[in-house]
Every structure is written in structure tokens, then in C-alpha cells.
Chain A
Amino acid sequence: MRCRKARWFLSARCDGTLSERERLRLEDHLKGCADCRREAFYFSEIAACAGRLEKAPVRPDFNVRLRAAIRRSEVAASTPKPWYRPTLQPLFRPVLAFGLLVLTLGGGVTGYVLTHNSESGPMDSTEAIVEWQPVIQPGMTPVGDMTAEDQRVRQYIDTNGALSDFVIETYSVEDPNTEKHLPQYLNPVVPAEQMARQVSY
């Protein structure tokens, strides 16, 4: 038997689990090999020493505390659980957290979209048309000639989804009571049914 194989058997030798043939061959090798004999001593010493290790002490009130723990658990088991209890179980917590996150993010995005749209004007194109109808009172007359500055451009998305421009014409009219010139806007000719959504002013 070679040293390598002999050392493979040393642990089993400590346990006494070698077959008779293996044991004889190993003992034969150990007689002639000081290194393997030393290793065999180390193994048997460790196994023997492990069996003699000092036992960890147990506190004298172990049984009393165990009895109290059992009583507590039995009381807890007999108490009906509140209906919301399952939702607080560890398994449900990630699901709950995810749901709350989705709700928060969804609410935030919806709020942002609504706020943004209300700042940029009414979304309903028909309302916009009505709101921007020119108010030319009797007696008011356009003043001066139209210039480029008197025109404002709006954009809208038509019912085909294309972005289009239209022009708002601006008039100055004279108020007969105050004799002041007031700006009035003449809405462009964009049929309501053609305008899907007004996007800017």
C-alpha cells in the first residue's frame, strides 16, 4: 500500500469501519512508514479529543422557560387572528409594497398629465372655438391695417392626427364709452369637427 492510499484510510481507521483486509494492509504499511504513523496518530487524537470535549452547560431554568413558551404559543394559537393578519404575513409584504408603489407612481403620472394639460388650455377643441369667438360689439370697428404682429399662430391636431397651424387675427376696436382701443381676437376658420385637439396658443 502506498502512502497516498494509506492516508485515505486513516479516517476510516479511527471509526473502525475498514474491512479486515484493508485494515491488515494499512497496519502493515504503518509499521514501516513513520510519516503515515504520525498522521494516523493525529487523526485518532482528534477523533478521541472531540468525544471528550467539555459539554456546553444548560441553564437550570430551561424547562421553566420552555413551559412558559409553550403556554404562550398555545394561548396565541387559540386566539382568533384578525382579518387583516394574512395581509401582513411576510409572503404578502412584497406584493403589498409593489401594489402601493404602482399606485403611487400611477397617481403621480396621472396628476402630472392633468396639471400639464390644464396649464396648456382646454382640451376640448369645440369649447376652445366657442371661447375664442370674436366679440365685436355694435359700434366697434377694426382699427388700422392688420400686420404680422397682429397675428397669432396656434397649433392643433386635426382628426387625421396631423399637426396643423391656424392663424388668429387680431383686431383693435374702439370702445365708444371709454374711447380706448381694445384688442379683440377673431378666431380662425377651423371647423370644430376638423380639430381633434388644440395643442398650443
Chain B
Amino acid sequence: MTLDPRTSVINQRLARTSRIIAVSSGKGGVGKSMVATTLALTLAHNGCKVGLFDLDFTSPSTHIILGAKNVQPKEEKGIVPPTVHGLEYMSLVYFVGDNPAPLRGEDVSNALIELLAVTQWGTLDFLVIDMPPGIGDVILDLVRLIKRIEFLIVTTPSLLAFETVKKQVALLCELKMPIIGVVENMKRDLAEDIEVETGKLGLKYLGEIPFDPQVEGAIGDEEKLLNTAIAKKLKRVSKVIILMEKREP
């Protein structure tokens, strides 16, 4: 007998978390990490207790967006995430620093299971997860291990990005996973193609976020981040999410 005991405690570790939202997309470069981080901050500014979990192990970036410096988790009957700008924040960067983490699929799964098994989250209204792009190991493992996860899909106005979103949505529907809706990021014009296409998929179009050239200057600065066009739009999205009833599979 060879039995991995870690998966048996994952749902117990998340028992005090009301809702788990995976910010996801079929493609990289659509601003998923920025949306996840800013959404977490706006939810917290709406009075919610929020955690942010960076699961993009090979290309983590939420720590840079947040400006998380000189923080480390505490070891206490597991790993307790430090609080950064009001968010309980967990990332693989605590363990690899600025060094690359070249992980293959099996390693990604194992690292994910380890973090889920040993991270001691507090009482949270929302745990926002920054997902890696695509429909690989992390999404399949999360769906397998956490039945009550909800997905928020990010796309750009590009039909190339939306094509990959369609695949992700098809997979999530097949797996009977709830999808909160679609956010259209980096919008530069008034075209309604993505809104129309989202409607065709039977999903809620949560709104558009205009392309904001100022956002680069806000990276690492919570106050500036919360004044970006992204944050202003996501404040509305976060209110919708708060009012939305928990979506069950």
C-alpha cells in the first residue's frame, strides 16, 4: 500500500473559507494576475476578509503587483500566510525567491497538493486564486480536489484570446463547474463582440476594463493600484460577486 495522505485534509483546510474564486483564462498575457490581485484588494476594501493564492508557480507575479516585500509565512501547525495589504497572501515565491522554478506537470500537481494540505488559512469570505493560463494540471487538480470552486474568466477583446476561453468554458461546463462570468480586459474600443460571444456561451458578461497605460506605474503600490481604471471597474465586479449567491456545482 502506498497512500498519499495529503489530499484527505484539503477541504478541511478550506473549511473556514466561504467562497473560492479561481481567476482563470485560456491564454496568458490577458492580465489575469492583475485582475486577480486587484479583485482581491477591492473585495477587501468592501469589508470582506480575503485571501490571495498565486498558483501560477512557474511565472508568479502577484507578489510584484502587490508589492509584497520582506514577508514570509509563519510555521504554526502548518504554514500560516502573512497578511499583505489586508490580504492573507500565499505564493511559491516564499520558497524560491527570484529564482526560476522549472516544474513539469507532476511536480506542479505535487506542489499544489502540498500547499493546499499545509496552508492554514484564517476565516475568509473569499479566497481569490490566480491561476496559470490554460487547461492544464492546476485547473484539473483544483476541480478534482475542491468541489466548490467558482471560476471567473478573463479575456481580452482579441478573438484569439476568446477562442481559448471557449475551450476552457467547454471544459468547465463538462466538469459541471460554476462560472461566475467573463471580464473583458484591456479594451480599446466600443466593439461588443466579446459581450455578444459571452452571451452565446450562456455566461454573464461582468464588464469591460479599458486598456490603461497608467497601470504599469501602479504596480507594487496598493494605493495607486486602487485608483487605476482596472480597480474602478473591478469594484463594481466585486459588488456583483458579493451580492451573487454562492454558485454550487
A and B together in one complex: no
Which A positions have Cβ atoms within 8 angstroms of B?
none
